[in-house]
Amino acid sequence: MTRLPVSAALLTLALLGTARAQTVTVGLDADPPRLDPALSTALVDRQVMNQIFDKLVDLDEKLKIVPRIATSWKITNGGLTYTFKIRTGVKFHDGTPLDAAAVKYSLDRNLTLEGSARKGELKSVKEVKVLDPTTVQVTLSQPYGPLLAVLTDRAGMIVSPTAARKAGADFLNDPIGSGPFTFESRKRQDNVTLTANKTYWGGAPKIDKLVYRPFPDGDVRYANLLSGAVQAITPIDPKDISRLSANTKFKVLNYAGLGFQGIWFNTTRAPFNNKALRQAVAATIDRAAIAKAIFYDTVDPAAGPFPPGTPAYSSAIKVAQPNIPLAKSRLGGKPLTFTLLTSPGSVTTQLAQLYQAMFAQAGINAKIELVEFGTLLDRADKRNYDALMLGWSGRPDPDGNIYDFFTTGGTNNQAGYSNPAVDALLAKARAQNAMSARVATYNVALGTILSDSPYTFVYFQKNLVGTTANLTGLRPIPDGILRFADVDLK
């Protein structure tokens, strides 16, 4: 055994201390169900996948679309052709090259994979062609202004063709991308562990490991942050914001989001295949009271799918006020009992109970059923529910907040809602270039959607993130996704 002088040993220990691996643990409000860009429908999936996969383009703090794997792009042929130049020298985590062929594979996979949630977003894509190893051409069947915005999210994530072909349906359990972190392991309902990609084209991350842990209960998330077990939580329960803001050991990020929250009604079966009963339930909801009692005025009452400050927001769409006499008249003197589905958590449980009390004012009896978030999504997709509490994290282009939710057969149309007039209007808005024209079209469509009530919009959420004071580098991007490539622990 080789012995070192005391001075040399101390130096070695000092160097080891300097090189000590840094791990950042993030507390989420649910376990990510599907770590596959084509299949994912949950915000918590996006939190993890944004670290594993590079996208063609991304967003900055002002919602400007910025280059990532696509270094530049040209739009020609009256908006029907998009030509992307692909960054050179990028490799997937399995060592295979990310080139134009991989981009084509990923886009085609989104369009053709059974169960893909991206089909609606990319519906206008007619053909994806490789022009050369660094050039991809996307041809549309009709002009589709939201395309670049769509590619800032899961539709624009590039997967390893080699890994995806090999894994098949199991790709969501072993996702391979080219992002700043590589997938290491996961234990359902416990953790997802990622490791820094030391050869990342954008520079090696400053932290060595990134661990995501699900804590559906907001009090548990908060306690783990205070104890140092995690370095970041999202979201913070609104009741904890003022306390955390006053604690110098922590920081709070509180910034505007893009999404909405509310209640889906299953229009494909009784009782909510009856429009009058959907209208009755919707008429009992007091949005201002919910914002105050549950969210400490950290949310805004919602009139529709477009939050204030986003491109398609319109003051012409008014927040509905509670109207108990109207609710009773829609019931027609008959009793209504149904089950309201939601996921566990202190805030969601309190909100469900407040809804229950509001419904009861009109004589409506709602039973609350709590299920794990992944199960809730499965039941929503299969329309195995009466009504359920589920929202949307939002997209930078308004099409992403309305089209797939309310068109016949839309991939996020959890209600099974179908109205040909709405289908035509939302298709028209997709092809319009001027936002003022799109807003006018959306407003007409929303008049029908709000009357039909397949979904009742309740509030617009903020992005509420808590971190330890020594965690730096998080950027407040309105899509609510935390990007860890440049994050450090000081």
Q: What are phi and psi of 97, to 5 degrees?
A: -80, 140
- Residue 362, CB half-sphere, CA atoms under 13 Å: how many? 32
Structure tokens at 81: 């052709």
Q: Quote the strand ranges of 169-208, DSSP E.
A: 181-187, 191-196
Q: What percent of the chain has pLDDT over 90?
A: 93
* Arithmetic mean of pLDDT, 43-62: 97
> What residue ranges define each of the domains in the chain, with the CATH number in brackets?
23-30+179-253+465-489 (3.40.190.10), 54-165 (3.90.76.10), 261-460 (3.10.105.10)
- Averaged pLDDT, 417-437: 95
How high is the pLDDT of residue 247? 97
Phi, psi of 458 (to 5 degrees): -115, -50
Q: Is 65 helix (H, G, I), strand (E, B) or coil?
A: strand
- The confidence band for 21, taking pLDDT boundaries of 50, 70 and 90, is confident
- Whole-number Å distance between alpha carbons of 160 and 152: 18
Q: Is 333 exposed, middle or buried (0-12, 13-18, 19+ CB in 10 A)?
A: exposed
Distance of CA 387 to the CA centre of its chain: 21
Task: Return phi, psi of residue 241, to 5°.
Answer: -65, -50
Token pair, residue 134, equals 């660094």
Cα within 13 Å of Cα(121), Cβ side: 28
pLDDT digits (tens, 9 = 90+) for 189-240: 999 999 999 999 999 999 999 999 999 999 999 999 999 999 999 999 999 9
Mean residue pLDDT across the chain: 94
Name, in order, each residue with C-beta under 8 angstroms of 419's C-beta and a sequence gap of 6 or more: 406, 408, 448, 449, 452
Report the DSSP beta bridge partners of residue 361: none
| pLDDT tier, 159 (very low <50, low <70, confident <90, very high otherwise) | very high
Confidence of residue 433 (pLDDT cuts 50, 70, 90): confident
Q: In what order do the strands lie in the sheet with 462-468?
A: 181-187, 191-196, 209-214, 23-28, 232-234, 462-468, 250-256
DSSP class of residue 360?
H
Instruction: Using a cut of 0.75, tell me whether the model's pTM lies above it.
Output: yes
The predicted model gives 323-344 an average pLDDT of: 97
Contact 21, 209 (CB under 8 A): yes
Q: Please name the residue that has the structure tokens 């914001």.
A: 241
The whole-angstrom separation of Cα 401 and Cα 394 is 6
